[in-house]
Amino acid sequence: MIAFAARTLAADLKQEAHRLGFDPVGLAAVPGGPRLALRTAALQRWLAAGHQADMAWMADPRRRQVEALLPGVRSLLAVGLNYYVAEPAAPARLRVARYGWGRDYHRVIDQRLRQLGRWLEGQVPGVAWRACVDSAPLLDKAWAEEAGLGWIGKHGNLIHRRRGSWLLLGHLLTNLELPADAPAQPLCGSCSRCMPACPTGAITEPFVVDSRRCIAFHTIENRDPELPRAIANHLQGWVAGCDLCQEACPWNQQPLASSTDPAVQPRPWWLTLQAEQALGWSDAEWDEKLRASALRRIKPWMWRRNIRAAQPGAAGPENRGG
């Protein structure tokens, strides 16, 4: 593809991605630059330390080799979906991570990326492409950083200058060679407010999150009948994920644009969730309330476990505090 045609197609591709509701968007060239290699090496160290806990899928070798996801891939379009919604929540309610407030983002982003892939086919018949959300074995935040969407912060999330870290990520892989954007430059500097904000000390050092200490991991992925005491003692009302490290980040404390995208608007009950009422819901009621939700991964019995653990005094007086 000649340079002018590639630049034109890249610009049109980004414009179409914006039309589908993505912002920011950026392009990266495969196999990526030096920083991507560093991120890949960091993943290996993270896995070797056991920080993935029970998430065995994080060790999928395809995560270290994007070519395994689409043979012949030459370029990658990274997209962000703003999920920040400025909605007041009821006082003393149980807390649910913002990413789970709206529709299942896996489906939303995947459907829109597939639309984008079909659009690309219309421009270049026979082109190969693949849509990836974070359920695919891809270093999604590292590739988004490579494509210029933002930098990976010390809490492990991607941060954008205007959006903060409230971004859901997706990627469109293609065998077309398109001009790449400059990788994002890290802007955390000496700030480390996210680290002490974690009540369980899950951010063990800058850029390293130990899932074994993470409230989000335990409330969503842990299948044990009871939460570890070290987690249950510090839930602070969180029963599905946790946003504490993100809330502490200065980039999330600036005035942020509240998304008007229907897909990320909160179901009202997320903002008023009370323990007594929720503990009375049957499995069928939970099933109905969690339809088309990313938090459907949390089974009804896990919701009850988490909610009970999050109530004041639930862990027992001898276990409170440290």
Say which DSSP state 172 is in.
E
| Rounded Cα–Cα distance for residues 209 and 201 (Å) | 9
What is the signed CA dihedral for 9, 15, 18, 23, rounded to 10 degrees? 80
Tens-digit pLDDT profile for residues 45-89: 999 999 999 899 999 999 989 999 999 999 999 999 999 999 877
The burial class, CB within 10 Å (0-12 / 13-18 / 19+), for 57 is exposed
Write down the pLDDT at residue 316. 46
**How many Å separate Cα 59 from the centre of its chain?**
18
Percent of the chain beyond pLDDT 90? 91
Amino acid letter, residue 155: H
Q: Which are the catalytic amino acids?
A: 134
Count Cα atoms within 13 angstroms, Cβ side, for 238.
26
For residue 315, what pLDDT band results from cuts at 50, 70 and 90?
A: low
What's the chain's length in residues? 322
- With a CB cutoff of 8 Å and minimum separation 6, the contacts of 90 are 271, 272, 274
pLDDT at residue 40 greater than cutoff 80: yes
Which residues neighbour 174 within 8 Å (Cβ) at sequence distance 6 or greater?
Answer: 70, 73, 74, 75, 76, 77, 117, 120, 127, 128, 129, 130
Q: Domain map of the chain by residue range?
A: 3-90+101-174, 194-319
In this prediction, residue 322 carries a pLDDT of: 31
Angle at 141 between CA 140 and CA 144, to 5 degrees: 85
Predicted pLDDT at 2: 61
197 alpha carbon, distance to own chain's centre: 19
The 10s digit of each residue's pLDDT in 284-304 is 999 999 999 999 999 999 999
pLDDT confidence of residue 1: 52
- With a cut of 60, say whether residue 247 has pLDDT above it: yes
